[in-house]
Amino acid sequence: MDRRKLLQSGLATAGLIGLANGARGQGMMVPRIRVSPADVFRTTVCLRPFRAAGPRLESEEVGRKIVIHNYGHGGSGWSLSWGSADVAVRLAMQSSPRKIAVLGAGALGLTAAITAQRAGAEVTIYARERFPFVRSARATGSWTPDSRIAKADAAAPDFGDRWERMARTALTMHQAFVGLAGNPVEWLDNYILRDPPVDMPSAAEDVDPGFLYLEDRLRDVSPHYSMVPPGEHPFSVSNVRRGAHMTFNVADYSHQLESDFLLAGGRFVQAEFHAPSDLSKLKEKVVINCTGYGARALWKDETVVPVRGQIVWLVPQEGVHYGAYYNSLLVLARRDGIVVQEVGPNETFGWNDDNEAPDPVAAQAALEKLKTFYAAG
């Protein structure tokens, strides 16, 4: 379920594959995405926080505070959020606190806060920013629970088992949001387009930077894609595979999570922390740290490596609800916007690049590449 390996191999998580059947077009009814500069409403950059050992999920005493760390998920933040929240809250509740502070209001912070509420704690989220200004708001929105999750030579021997528990917990929770008003989570058709020969990776794709891939552990919810016959799709290549893929409409999903948190009595407090000693100002004794890439500066954690990703956003288009991948370009037509993202030839793309300024030249190149998805006519 790493994003690039998933797209190249044609596998997808589809525990409820039937949910996507209604979205499948027949023949040329699969609509083309309109590619026009007039339809671009923003270009965003997100820095994904990667740690070679995997997400930091552990307890630490800081002065008189107990801090539970929950950060460093690479490209799997949204995907694993509920699963890692379950681990973090179990650690937090060991001292049976009545009140818990959560640092960060992104995907990991919101899910940790709601999970702590369900465990019986009174929760306050302290954050400098909320949606739509957090980095989580710039996420691709795909279920990719092992996307840049760890390095094979740095992860602990039991990491795979822990990851699988988190992934399965998260999948169950995400599925609970399918079908709700606003479609915060939904299954969409996804098309993998390949030029023949399909079994020969390029030299760039053959580069293996040593990431840990764990998709085999979820084979029971990962059926293969099926071939789409020529004439039943609008794409420019003959080798087309189709499957179902879980998608997060981040605008709707974040709104749902914030609403759930507030309805359960949660509070947001605007705050900024520059050093661990700043936590002494909080009244709560137990703190869950969900600061994502911000943890690199706040905790002086040099094990956090930025992985840059840029998205060009097209306005939503009526009837266009599917994903496609071709020639290292990912397009995902979500309800809250159409994601156009160059993912590069291999996992080193964007590696250790902390530049958050949009690149207009790369944005235009991505749009031009998207035009090649479709046959003439």
**pLDDT 10s digits, 202-229:** 544 555 678 999 988 998 887 678 999 9
The H or E element spanning position 362 is helix 360-371
Nearest to 55, CA basis, from 304, 313, 287: 304
Based on the structure, what is the number of domains in the chain?
1
CA 132 to chain centre: 15
CA 324 to centroid of chain Cα atoms: 17
Distances (CA, A) of 296 to 66, 72, 192, 204, 300: 19, 9, 35, 30, 5
- In a domain, residue 105? The reply is yes
pLDDT at 2 (0 to 100): 52
Does 23 score more than 80 pLDDT? no
Q: H or E element: which one contains 172?
A: helix 159-175
Q: Nearest 10 degrees: CA dihedral of 243, 248, 249, 250?
A: -150
Query: So what's the pLDDT on residue 329?
Result: 97
Asked if omega into 316 is within 30° of 0 (cis), the reply is no
Give the DSSP letter of residue 152: T
Quickly state the pLDDT bin for 197 (edges 50, 70, 90).
low
Percent of the residues in the chain that have a pLDDT greater than 90, as a whole number = 82
Sequence-distant (6+) residues with CB within 8 A of 21 are none
What are φ and ψ of residue 180, in 5° steps? Answer: -75, 160
* pLDDT exceeds 60 at position 11: no
Query: Using one digit for the tens of pLDDT, what is the confidence trace for 278-306?
Result: 999 999 999 999 999 999 999 999 999 99
Question: Is the residue at 149 inside a domain?
Answer: yes
Residue 170 sits in which domain range?
A: 3-371
Q: Cα–Cα–Cα angle for 301, 136, 272, nearest 5°? A: 55
Strand partners for 310: 45
pLDDT digits (tens, 9 = 90+) for 84-105: 999 999 999 999 999 999 999 9
- CB of 58 closer than 8 Å to CB of 65: no
Pull the structure tokens for residue 57. Answer: 């999920």
**Residue 376 falls within a domain, yes or no?**
no
In the chain, what percentage of residues exceed pLDDT 70? 89
Q: Quick: pLDDT tens for 276-285.
A: 999 999 999 9
Measured CA distances, 106 to 44, 52, 164, 165 (Å)? 16, 22, 22, 22
CA atoms within 13 A on the CB side of 297: 8
Please provide the DSSP assignment of 9-72 as one string.
HTB---TTGGGGGGG---GGGSPPPP--GGGEEEEEEEEEEEETT--EEEEEEETTEEEEEEE-
Strand order in the sheet with 65-71: 56-62, 65-71, 286-289, 99-103, 122-127, 267-270
Tokens of 174: 């995400």
Average pLDDT, the chain: 90
pLDDT for 9 beyond 70: no
